Structure 1
């Protein structure tokens, strides 16, 4: 069997080339978008979110201590200290709210609650639970107005 027209070249379609270039463009575009989003996220100030995460973690640790019936001052005092230390940074973490009277009052009330906890730590789980509820109320007061 021979080709009746030996001078003609068999033509293949370009569809596979176009598909390859399309897929390559999708991959390069996805990589470029991810890089752009990460660069944009890197410019963002993560301090306020980090502060809230750290404080939330310590509040959850206090709740866990109550659940596990581990409410001695040696178990809870480190969390109260950390909460008090981070409460000092609330105005710096949210500079746009530092002039708002409600915000500064909520932050001051939270610090007052934590100062009382450090001055006279609760000695049983009921006291820790009550104090954790007061801390949560201080957080909630701010979050209701500004979140």
Structure 2
């Protein structure tokens, strides 16, 4: 069979070029959005979240110590000291709440519980479990009001 119009050129579509440009635009746009979100996140103050993560980790270590029956003072004191040290920074981590008396009282109560634990550290797993429960109650009291 022959071409009915031998003088006309065959036209090719430009759809593949448009598809390529569309996909390229999607990729460039996605990269741009990720870069913008990372820049926005970098401006955020991560100190409050970091402080809470560190305290949570040390609390978890105390609970795991009771589960593993490793409750000697040498196992628990490093975590209690770290919890007490980071408890000093609670008001600094949340400057918007530092003037609230309930927040200050909750932070002070936590520090008091930890000071008592450092003065007379628990010597057995029952004592560590009770202390972890008391510390958890102090944390929960604050989290219920301010989280």
Normalising by structure 1, we get a TM-score of 0.96
Q: Aligned partners of 2:9, 2:16: CA distance in 1, in Å? A: 19
Give the Å deviation of 1:7.
3.6
Q: Distance in 1 between matches of 2:91 and 2:80?
A: 19
Q: CA shift at 1:10, angstroms?
A: 1.2
Unaligned runs of 5+ in 1: none
- Which aligned runs of 4 or more in structure 1 are off by greater than 6 angstroms? none
Q: Give per-residue Cα distances to partners, 1:25-82, cap 9 Å, x unaligned.
A: 1111110000000000000000000000000000000000000000000000000000
SS at match of 1:22: helix
Instruction: Show the counterpart of 1:92.
Output: 92
Alpha-carbon offset, residue 132 of structure 1: 0.4
Counterpart-to-counterpart distance in 1, 2:7 and 2:51 = 77
Instruction: Tell me the equivalent position of 2:71.
Output: 71
Offset, 1:4: 5.4
| Residue in 2 that maps onto 1:17 | 17
Instruction: State the TM-score, normalizing by the size of structure 2.
Output: 0.96
Alpha-carbon shift at residue 2 of structure 1 (Å): 6.1
CA shift at 1:14, angstroms? 1.2
Tell me what 2:116 maps to. Answer: 116
- The residue aligned with 1:39 is 39
Aligned Cα root-mean-square deviation (Å): 1.1
Count of equivalent residues: 147
Take 1:7 and 1:47, find their aligned partners in 2: how far apart are those partners? 75
Q: 1:5: Cα distance to partner?
A: 4.3
Deviations 1:63-122 (A, max 9, x none): 000000000000000000000000000000000000000000000000000000111100
Partner Cα separation in structure 1 for residue 4 and residue 139 of structure 2 = 87
5+ residue gaps in structure 2?
none
User: How many Å separate the matches in 2 of 1:135 and 1:120?
Assistant: 15
